[in-house]
Amino acid sequence: MHYGGDWNPEQWPEKTWGEDVRLMTEAGITLVRTGTHGWARTEPAPGAWDFGWLDRALDLLADAGVDVVLSTMTGGPPPWLLRRHPEAAPDGTACPSGPVRHTYATRLVEQLARRYGDHPAVALWHIGDVYGSGHGCARPCGCEACEEAFREWLRARYGSLDALNSAWTTAVRSQTYGAWEEVRLPGHAGSAGECAPDPARLLDRRRFTHDALLGCFLAEREVLRALTPEVPVTTGFLPLDGSVDQFGWARHQDVVALGPAAGSGEAAGTGGPLAAAAAFDAARGAGGGQPWMLLDHGPAEGPWPPGALRLRAWQAVAQGADAVLPAPWRQPRGGAGRFRAALVPHAGTASRMFTEARALGHELAAAPAELEGSRVSAVRAALVLDWPSRWALEQSPAAGLDTPGLLLRYHAPLLRSHVTCDVVPPGRDLTGPGYRLVVVPHLHLLSVLDARRLAGYVRGGGHLLVGCCSGIVDESARLHGNGWAAPLRELLGVTVEEPWPLAEGVTVPVEGGPAGSGHGSAWAEVLTLDGAEAVARFTGGPAAGGPAVTRHSYGDGVAWYVATRLDAGALERLLGAACARAGAEPVLPGLPREVQAAERRAADGTRFVLLLNHGARQARCRLPQPMRDVLTPGRDADAPVYQVTLPPGGVAVLSAAPPGT
């Protein structure tokens, strides 16, 4: 397991670097990210390069055996660039469309690649910095270059104005375009039809923004691929951040990374272990199950609570991470982040924080070598998440269904049931990985092709649970023809007669079936059964008397449908029943609700079971078969363990030999 933090030597006098590296060694640090904020130091004036500081910093690390994720530094353009090209940041964040950033950024990356591509410390390139977060390279700013890029993007997507007019249904509000030049980025002065912009146009703005950011990334990646083909590349994202399609982006990364701080920006809801779990499964899903990397993932302000650093680090490992860089290395004296937790806090190395950080380093170093590179196994379920669908949902009366709640609401019950699930995009193969249950929460935008993919999975024996408001619009945010949610009608065995947005605070009661007594909110649908059976019914609200939960036998499988957003308790009961019927079994049976369980399987077949107690009380976990404790220091490595007792925040790593050994 790789372990470390963000080391920013440019923030400190050089004389302190040696002490830093010594402390890293003491704390078991094996990997640091460096250079994130180094552009101004490396290129203090246009084309004037100063690599000496970085040479010395990297050499120090190499000597100490600490590997480096080297940043391309392009997340933080230096002041001279913005002074020279004010148009590069017309509204205070850097514009991704103009030629300026590409020119200067790629020139810098080329220098870095040539100089450090085969430096012994450099293990990985980190490109840019938190795309889409408002840091550094942020969003199209509406300058002329952005407008032009938007039109180019639309030309490439639609080919013709006729296709664009059709996709955007411009006739609906007298916005039919007669020339490409008439098309403007929505949200900017002078844009036509701003009082009620077309949802398709807003959706395409989201897509274009995404692709503009991706373009910045790809321009750098191209340079790196050409010059240092052997060094893998990554970049970190805010957990489940709405502006970047992590699934689409992951195709262009060698390693998926998740960062930075929970609690900042859109990631505000991601502080707890349930939210982290959803984000971690999505990070693993983005990389197709490959080991991923946790970056800079601490509280936005103030310390980690006692034990929290260790628990979160092991949670990442349990969910498939092979590298954990959970915090800055050292708290800076200035800057907006000076109150953020770091491994070496302002209080110094005698502090609780550094003590915990060091203990974690030693613990990770002592963990079995086979754990690294092992894959999360015993995955029995999948959750389908889709960024374009989230973007379309924003433009609909069902906006209240959107993430982070969207994913978390369906993910947490599975986690509490100890059923491991992948979070995957709708285009992913669902039949291969042995999923017993696939959950599709509010997939508002669903292409006919992807709907067929879901049907194929169920026909082949899969179980599927679909949340309301799915399959409503097509890729252009248009209602699918032939009535509501037509692409899912045959599969679900229901027809949506009337979709009802529910005002904030309004709930509708639901009764019956495994969900028991519950209520829905945000959205409710009047259904007619078309082959499915009603498992629960609305007992109030606009669909009173009608089905609220349905089940349909389809091919060799089963398709559930939930016609509202169920409350957490009812949803957990319903998902429990769906798992049971589908044969989606927990990692271990009979575990306490607050314990998270995961299994990783090494290349040699060794099974590791990781147990984490997120609760406030001691938790006793009985093992169905004796295993070995491979974590506790001073343990008898060969003694069979039949039961594990975890204190609050406790972690256990157990192993079982491969079958047949």
Q: Does 616 bind a second copy (CB under 8 A)?
A: no
Which residue shows structure tokens 């609570």? 305
Long-range CB contacts for residues 426-434, cutoff 8 Å, separation at least 24: 426/384, 426/386, 426/389, 426/450, 426/453, 426/454, 427/453, 428/285, 428/382, 428/384, 430/382, 430/454, 430/457, 430/462, 431/456, 431/457, 431/460, 431/462, 433/379, 433/382, 434/379, 434/380
Stretch that binds a second copy, among 145-153, 207-215, 227-235, 295-303 (CB under 8 A): 295-303
Contact set for a second copy, span 537-576 (CB under 8 A): 542
DSSP string, 76-140: S--HHHHHH-GGGSTTSSB-SSSHHHHHHHHHHHHHHHHHHTT-TTEEEEE-SSSTTSSSSB---
170 near a second copy, rule: CB under 8 A: yes
Nearest-5° Cα angle at 302, 298 to 307: 60
Q: How far is the CB of 42 from a second copy (least distance, A)?
A: 9
Per-residue x/- marks for a second copy, 197-226, CB under 8 A?
A: xxxx--------------------------
Site for a second copy in 316-335 (CB under 8 A): 331-335
Closest approach of a second copy to the CB of residue 312, in Å: 16
Q: If binding is defined by CB under 8 A, does position 588 make contact with a second copy?
A: no
C-alpha distances out from residue 152 to 132, 155, 241, Å: 21, 5, 26
- Which residue number, 45 or 365, has a Cβ lying nearer to a second copy? 45
Is position 301 an interface residue for a second copy (rule: CB under 8 A)?
Answer: yes
> Exactly one of 22, 56, 114, 338 binds a second copy (CB under 8 A); which one?
338
Q: Is 634 in the site for a second copy (CB under 8 A)?
A: no
Residues 608 and 368: beta-carbon distance below 8 Å: yes
Compute the least distance from the CB of residue 603 to a second copy, in Å.
41
In the window 501-540, what residues touch a second copy (CB under 8 A)? 501, 526
Q: Which of 99, 302, 545, 583 binds a second copy (CB under 8 A)?
A: 302
Decide if residue 269 touches a second copy (CB under 8 A).
no
Least spacing, CB of residue 94 vs a second copy, in Å: 9
Binding a second copy (rule: CB under 8 A), the pick from 181, 429, 556, 636 is 181
Q: What are phi and psi of 434, to 5 degrees?
A: 80, 25
- Which helix (H) or strand (E) is 154 found in, with range? helix 144-158
Quick one: which of 163, 172, 603, 657 contacts a second copy (CB under 8 A)?
172
Q: How many residues bind a second copy (CB under 8 A)?
A: 97
Q: Are 445 and 388 in contact (CB under 8 A)?
A: yes
Asked if residue 484 binds a second copy (CB under 8 A), the reply is yes
Q: Does residue 191 bind a second copy (CB under 8 A)?
A: yes
Could you give the string, one character per residue 222-261, with x where binding to a second copy holds by CB under 8 A and - elsewhere? ----------------------------------------
> CA-CA distance, 236 to 240, in Å (whole number)?
11
Q: Identify which of residues 352 and 620 has a Cβ nearer to a second copy in the complex.
A: 352
Q: Measured between alpha carbons, how far is 339 from 341 in angstroms, rounded to an integer? A: 6
* 415: CB partners within 8 A, 6+ apart: 274, 277, 278, 596
The minimum distance between CB 168 and a second copy, in angstroms, equals 7
**Interactions with a second copy, residue window 360-389 (CB under 8 A):** none
**By CB under 8 A, residue 38 contacts a second copy:** yes
Contacting range for a second copy; rule: CB under 8 A; set: 96-104, 180-188, 289-297, 574-582? 180-188
The answer to whether residue 589 forms part of the interface with a second copy (CB under 8 A) is no
Q: Answer whether 481's CB lies under 8 Å from 475's CB.
A: no
With binding defined as CB under 8 A, does residue 392 bind a second copy? no
Q: Residue 19 or residue 194: which is nearer to a second copy going by CB?
A: 194
- Residue ranges of alpha helices (H) inside 290-440 are 308-318, 352-366, 387-394, 405-416
Should residue 104 be labelled a site residue for a second copy when binding is judged by CB under 8 A?
no
Q: What's the CA dihedral at 349, 353, 354, 357 to 10 degrees? A: 180
- DSSP symbol at 9: G
Asked if 341 and 298 touch (Cβ cutoff 8 Å), the reply is yes
Contacting residue, 107, 173, 225, 601, with a second copy by CB under 8 A: 173
* Binding test (CB under 8 A) with a second copy, winner from 64, 102, 115, 193: 193
Q: How many CB atoms lie within 10 A of CB 85?
A: 18
Site for a second copy in 149-168 (CB under 8 A): 168
Nearer to a second copy, 41 or 573 (CB): 41
Angstrom distance (rounded) from CA 185 to CA 202: 9
Task: Report, in Å, the least distance between residue 556 CB and a second copy.
Answer: 30
CB 465 within 8 Å of CB 562: yes
8 Å CB contact between 93 and 138: yes
Closest separation in Å from C-beta 448 to a second copy: 14
- Contact (Cβ atoms closer than 8 angstroms) between residue 231 and residue 126: no
Q: Interface with a second copy includes 79 (CB under 8 A)?
A: yes
> Least CB distance from residue 90 to a second copy, whole Å?
6
Residue of 105, 138, 145, 293 that binds a second copy (CB under 8 A): 138
Bridge-based pairing of strands 595-601 and 236-237 is unpaired
Of residues 194 and 429, the one with the C-beta less far from a second copy: 194
Strands 31-34 and 2-7: parallel
Among the listed residues 25, 51, 134, 269, the single contact to a second copy using CB under 8 A: 134
Of residues 132 and 291, the one with the C-beta less far from a second copy: 132
Q: Give the residue from 183, 144, 168, 136 showing the smallest Cα distance to 39.
A: 136
Residues 80-99 that bind a second copy (CB under 8 A): 80, 82-83, 86, 89-93
For a second copy, which is the closer residue by CB, 345 or 462? 345
